[in-house]
Chains A and B, each alone.
Chain A
Amino acid sequence: MNPFSSGTRLRDMIRAIRSCKTAAEERAVVRKECAAIRAAISENDQDYRHRNLAKLMFIHMLGYPTHFGQMECLKLIASSGFPEKRIGYLGLMLLLDERQEVLMLVTNSLKQDLNHSNQYIIGLALCALGNICSAEMARDLAPEVERLLQFRDPNIRKKAALCSIRIIKKVPDLAENFINPAASLLREKHHGVLITGVQLCTDLCKVSSEALEYFREKCTEGLVKTLKDMANSPYAPEYDIAGITDPFLHIRLLKLLRILGQGDADASDCMNDILAQVATKIESNKNAGNAILYECVGTIMSIEDNGGLRVLAINILGRFLSNRDNNIRYVALNMLMKAITVDAQAVQRHRATILECVKDSDASIRKKALDLVYLLVNESNVKPLTKELIESLEASDQEFKGVLTAKICSLVEKFSPEKIWYIDQMLKVLSEAGNFVKDEVWHALIVVISNASDLHGYSVRALYRAFQTSTEQETLVRVAVWCIGEYGDMLVNNVGMLDIEEPITVTESDAVDALEVSIKRLNSDLTTKAMALIALLKLSSRFPSCSE
């Protein structure tokens, strides 16, 4: 038997492809298989349609084009047998996306299948519809799905609920029709139906203010009770994860309560007790527990203020922040960013820990922490925070340096209390990471220096010192060179010394040497060299003795 005919079993084709040693070999095998499949398709071969589609799906996952198989999905879906429909719908979901016109052709089959006597076939149709329907299909089939929300079998009700979510997202006008059926789902006992029902209500609230009002008024109490029952539920092996009964349901309920309580004092009042209970009783040694606590904190921070609850929430975040688990620290930082708008002071108290996170070995955490620090800066804490950030600069890797530098420069510019502090910080940044400093930034620095006439001497001396030690930072060299050119005489004669300065001995030829070095150094680019030359020109008029 020719191993490459459409007569090969799926397993054999997979084996053949996996045993290929080179990409070219694989392409050859795939090409042969596709040719056989194409032939079978054009002959309208029914026997192997099922298997051929499975093969096509595998080939598709390898990255090869398989659009010629799209109609096969439709034919299989239109067949009467369950196995054919099952693979047909799967193929549809994998090989097509909602933007393709071919998809519309399935609408009729879907309609029939949504009315099928076999509930598993109804399930297949709901799944496919819920995953990839377009807006037109949603509109066409919404009435069927709405009806199925009250089907006798919970398996179908829960699928219909999720399918409805897609429908109202695609066609928000239809949301009104789903409000009542969704509300009745909230009174069910079956966890699958509850979870999907709660999710449907949540999404309804997002697209329809009418829905939000309705659920807020009619369902808040019921939801609070459901959450209470969950929290107090005895051990239920079917739903237990890490000692908690159905953490997923806990989380969905908390999410919906958040939306209902936001901006409404009565609703928020209603849920205070259960939120406190969850926040204090849920164990936080396993991920499931932490996931619930995280959600709970999110809800507390969003609803109307109840001082005690907020304190609880921030405390939980504080604990999270010192957790050794990277995931927990990450979500804590995330939540703290949202908490800033609600209670900035409380977040400020955790500044030290947050700054530690800026030096974390995990790039995701560093970035989050930096974003958070940026939001925490104000006039009163800018000095110590900047100091810490500059220290982190020294320890950070190349990738992070760019981001960190940009943030520091931005902060310094925005909040600097005095010019001299600004110049100092910029100098440090330039020495450490000058190459990451953007042009606008060092241009701005030069402008500030030139406008601060009392600091000319200070600036040029400080720059000269820095220049001696950090010549690899291009931008530092440029600024130094410019200053020496402008204020060379102050440098040499220690003019305008401030109390905090130590005297420095720089002769005219030292200054000129410095400029010469800048021109000659290997790393200097044209801009630097040009600036150095101009600086020399300026000095030649000021230091006539060194003109050579």
Chain B
Amino acid sequence: MIHFVLLISRQGKVRLTKWYSPYSQKERTKVIRELSGLILTRGPKLCNFVEWRGLRVVYKRYASLYFCMCIDEDDNELEILEIIHHYVEVLDRYFGSVCELDLIYNFHKAYFILDELLIAGELQEPSKRTVARLVAAQDSLVETAKEQTSSITNIIAQVANFTIKMLHKGYGPWGSNALHLESLFLVDVCTRLVDQH
């Protein structure tokens, strides 16, 4: 299985970490430090595998980022290279010619995509098209939810404004009382709606 995935920049900055085996926070920091030292210093012509603590780490450099995946000794290293490339291609498709900056400002999206590719340290979907489709569907769910919130917020804002105006204008004695009560009721409803969203 894949025990963890690391994305590290050439300067050793962590851009993404995903852990599929138990490592405490302290252990994670140590692992990152050790592996950064080990991998960032390897020359470009060397093979993409390093042995580390009885496990194997497969890494590949894409522009300024090192994609690293830690696997068991009896796993297929060449396949992991393909899995890394699979991930990179999906990222590329999603962001349109992905670069490190995309992954910094949209790190959560990089994670969402990774979660459609790997679960429990194993490959989930060999089709890039399917992965892209699933991520897009979830993104649009988020968009829809946002629009709903903003459209409700708009309605509330309009109602609230109208109510306040009515209160200020004050109508005839009997009318204004009724309006006053209704206005208060409306304000109450608006406040509740705002609280929910």
Residues of A in contact with B (beta carbons under 8 Å apart): 11, 14, 18, 46, 54, 57-58, 61-63, 65, 81-83, 86-87, 90, 93-94, 97-99, 118, 120, 123, 126-127, 130-131, 155, 158-159, 162-163, 165-166, 191-192, 195-196, 199, 238-239, 241, 246-249, 251-252, 255, 287-288, 290-291, 294-295, 298, 326-331, 334, 361-365, 367
List the 10 closest A-B pairs by CB distance, nearest first. A291-B78, A326-B47, A162-B119, A130-B119, A166-B120, A192-B125, A130-B120, A83-B142, A248-B126, A362-B46
Q: Which residues of B contact A98 (CB under 8 A)?
A: 22
**Which of B15, B105, B141 is within 8 Å of A82, CB to CB?**
B141
| Extra pairs beyond A255-B76, A326-B48 (13, CB < 8 Å) | A82-B142, A87-B108, A90-B111, A94-B17, A94-B111, A97-B19, A97-B23, A97-B25, A123-B134, A291-B81, A294-B78, A295-B76, A363-B46
Q: How far is the CA of A329 from the CA of B49 in the complex (A)?
A: 11
Interface size class of B (residues with CB under 8 A): 35 or more
Contact of B79 with A248 in the complex, beta carbons under 8 Å: yes
A-B contact pairs, 20 of them (CB 8 A): A61-B17, A62-B14, A90-B111, A93-B18, A98-B22, A99-B22, A120-B137, A123-B134, A126-B119, A127-B119, A130-B119, A131-B115, A159-B124, A196-B122, A238-B127, A239-B127, A247-B79, A291-B82, A326-B47, A327-B81
Do B108 and A54 touch across chains, with their CB atoms under 8 A apart? yes
Q: Are B119 and A295 in contact (CB under 8 A)?
A: no
- By beta carbon, the residue of chain B nearest A91 is B108
How distant is A90 from chain B, measured CB to nearest CB, in Å? 6
Bound CA–CA A199/B124 (angstroms): 10
Chain B residues near A365 (CB-CB < 8 A): 47
B124 in contact with A162 (CB, 8 Å): yes
Closest chain B CB from A160 CB (angstroms): 10
User: Which residue numbers of B lie inside 8 Å of A, CB to CB?
Assistant: 14-20, 22-25, 29, 45-51, 76-79, 81-83, 104-105, 107-108, 111-112, 115, 119-120, 122-130, 134, 137-138, 141-142, 145-146, 195
Q: Give the chain B neighbours of A249 by CB distance below 8 A.
A: 126
B77 & A163 in contact (Cβ 8 Å cutoff): no
Give Cα distance in the complex from A274 to B62, angstroms. Answer: 36
Complexed CA–CA distance, A263 and B188 (Å): 75
In the complex, the answer to whether A155 meets B134 with C-beta atoms within 8 Å is: yes
Establish whether residues B126 and A327, one from each chain, have CB atoms under 8 Å apart when the complex forms. Answer: no
Q: Which of B20, B104, B138 contacts A86 (CB 8 A)?
A: B138
